[in-house]
Homo-oligomer: A and B are copies of this chain.
Amino acid sequence: MGRRPQIDRAAVIDAAMQFADESGLEAVTMHAVAQRLGVTPMALYRHVDGKQALLDGMVERLLTGYPLPPADAPWPGRLTAMAEATRSTAKQHPAVFPLLLTRPAATPAARTVRDYVQAALREAVLGFAASEAAGRFRHHAQAVIDEDFAVLLRWLRLAVSPGATPDVVLDEP
């Protein structure tokens, strides 16, 4: 008499992600996800706390897929790592990606990552301000400055245009 659930929380979120990438985010429906799992809609409620919780689970899955440098690493490295993680995520789940911009603080994991990026951006801007005020930039090679600003600019653009396609945002010079 094995009770084999065969439909745990991870499977539900998996199915939702796949379905979203196939048919679009707005097609992710309790009925549709259930059908894809060969199960009744009501069966999902045992494993996720309703549709909001399902979407939150998808966001968490998106955010926790990649390791990030420690918070006290230099900000260009942190932003670059986030950019790479973001690009990978966008490539793997292009349709789910917009959720990141719509529900950024829905879960503790999401909040942690958002604060991580926010802290890096703030450091970047304040760092530039402090550096130029002290005239320290003359000690840097111009190429390094340009590179740092390229990273910063990409994030600004991503932050400013939530509706933009990730690839466009990340790939443009």
Contacts and interface: CB of A to CB of B under 8 A. Distances in A.
A43 interface: no
Contacts of A101: 101, 162
A137 B105 CA distance: 37
A87 interface: no
Interface string A121-153: 110011011011101011000100100010011
How many subunits of this chain does the assembly comprise? 2
Contacts of A145: 129, 133
By secondary structure, the A interface counts as: helix
Contacts of A132: 128, 131-132, 137
A9 interface: no
A47 interface: no
A167 to B, nearest CB: 16
A123 B8 CA distance: 50
A156 interface: yes
A40 interface: no
B156 A122 contact: yes
A92 interface: no
Contact of A163 (B104, B122, B153, B160): B104
A138 B145 CA distance: 19
B133 A135 contact: no
A117 interface: yes
B104 A153 contact: no
A105 B160 contact: no
A103 interface: yes
A88 interface: no
